Amino acid sequence: MGEEDIMELRHLKSFQAVADHLNFHRAAAEVNVSQPALSRHIAQLEAELGRALFLRDRKKVELTAAGRHLYRRVGTVLDGVEELVRETREVGEGKRGALAVGYTEAAMSSFLPALLKSLRDALPEVSLQLRQEHSEQLVREVGMGRVDLAFTSLPTHDPGLRGTLVFKEEIGIVLPDNHRLAKQKQLALKDLRQERFILFPYKANPSLYMELLGSCRTAGFAPREIEEADTRILAVNMVAAGLGVSFLGEHLAHYCGVGTVFRPLKQPRPMMRFYLVEPKDRTHPVLPEVRRLLHALEKEKPV
């Protein structure tokens, strides 16, 4: 078979129909072509294979040995092609395939678990590939195509990327459980002016870091001492050890175990913001469903 002799699917479908019925007239009706066209398909297929597939005379049509072999296999081939076509369409429609998602620790500790669960329920054939990094690194990962999209705590100023604010979360305070303010249901930030604060490193989220310090200045003070903790769990444990107080997003209140309490802040309070970062020049097929689910989560948030 030469390079120009490419077996066509319509030839195989015509062959299968003739082999099913052993009748050219009924086979032509099944595949919706004229009988002369069907005969040409079979003749072209036989020419490509270099073998006769049918023995035919005026009374009957029979499969040759080569025809019987092809008949045993052709169904699997055609079913496989149909499955491939269906899967390819589903990938293009965002119903199947893979989605590489970058995220920060803060996002995974906030709204992201609920979003990922909803996405898996809605699109079970989409494989999720997850990668945790700091916001600035995630922006680079999206730009280099290593992840399809990312949930960061920073907007992006990269001209090739789009950053959309998708979620906001109120920030409260973690106190030692024996703190003088621990019995209050809600705190004013100004009441903490004498406290030592435990914060994440500036480089982890510069904008939120500056917003927290700005909220303190608005409340009439600057933190007199600042300790750093690389993770929020570490910050909570440092509070339990009596080393200070710490800001914490409301979704992380469950981090407060023995020795600590979480208290909401009165208005005006700082907010944690989360952004969806994606390339401007291409839209992943799953993204419309991601946006729909994000919108649903936002609507479900308690007021």
- The pLDDT tens digits of the residues spanning 5-30 come to 556 888 999 999 999 999 999 999 99
Q: pLDDT at position 110, please? A: 86
In angstroms, the CA 126 to CA 113 distance is 16
Q: pLDDT at position 4, please? A: 45
CA dihedral (194, 195, 201, 203) positive or negative: negative
Nearest to 172 by CA among 183, 156, 160, 188: 188
Provide the pLDDT confidence category of residue 302 given band limits of 50, 70 and 90.
low
Look at 138-142, 180-184, 249-253 and tell me which has the smallest mean pLDDT: 249-253
Residue 214 has pLDDT above 90, yes or no: yes
CATH architecture of the domain with range 9-92 = Orthogonal Bundle (1.10)
Two domains, one topology: 9-92 and 170-270? no
For tokens 């995220």, the residue is 103
Structural fold of domain 170-270? D-Maltodextrin-Binding Protein; domain 2 (3.40.190)
Cα 122 to the chain's mean position, in Å?
11
Phi, psi (rounded to 5 degrees) for 246: -145, 150
Q: What is the pLDDT of residues 268-282, one digit of tens each?
A: 888 889 999 999 988
- Looking at every residue in the chain, the average pLDDT score rounds to 89
**Domain spans, the chain:** 9-92, 97-166+273-300, 170-270
Between 108 and 283, where is the model more confident?
108
Cβ–Cβ < 8 Å for 232, 153 = no
User: pTM for this structure?
Assistant: 0.67
Cβ–Cβ < 8 Å for 248, 231 = no
Q: pLDDT at position 105, please? A: 84
- Distance from the first to the final alpha carbon of the chain: 70
- Those residues whose C-beta lies under 8 Å from the C-beta of residue 129, and which sit 6 or more positions away, are 98, 99, 100, 101, 147
Residue 188 has pLDDT above 90, yes or no: yes
Q: Kindly state the percentage of the chain with pLDDT values over 90.
A: 62
Pick among 3.20.20.80, 3.40.190.10, 3.40.50.620, 3.30.420.40: CATH of 97-166+273-300 = 3.40.190.10
Residue 155 has pLDDT above 80, yes or no: yes
Q: pLDDT at position 221, please? A: 94
Q: pLDDT at position 189, please? A: 94
Q: What is the pLDDT of residues 71-108, one digit of tens each?
A: 999 999 888 888 877 777 767 766 778 899 999 988 99
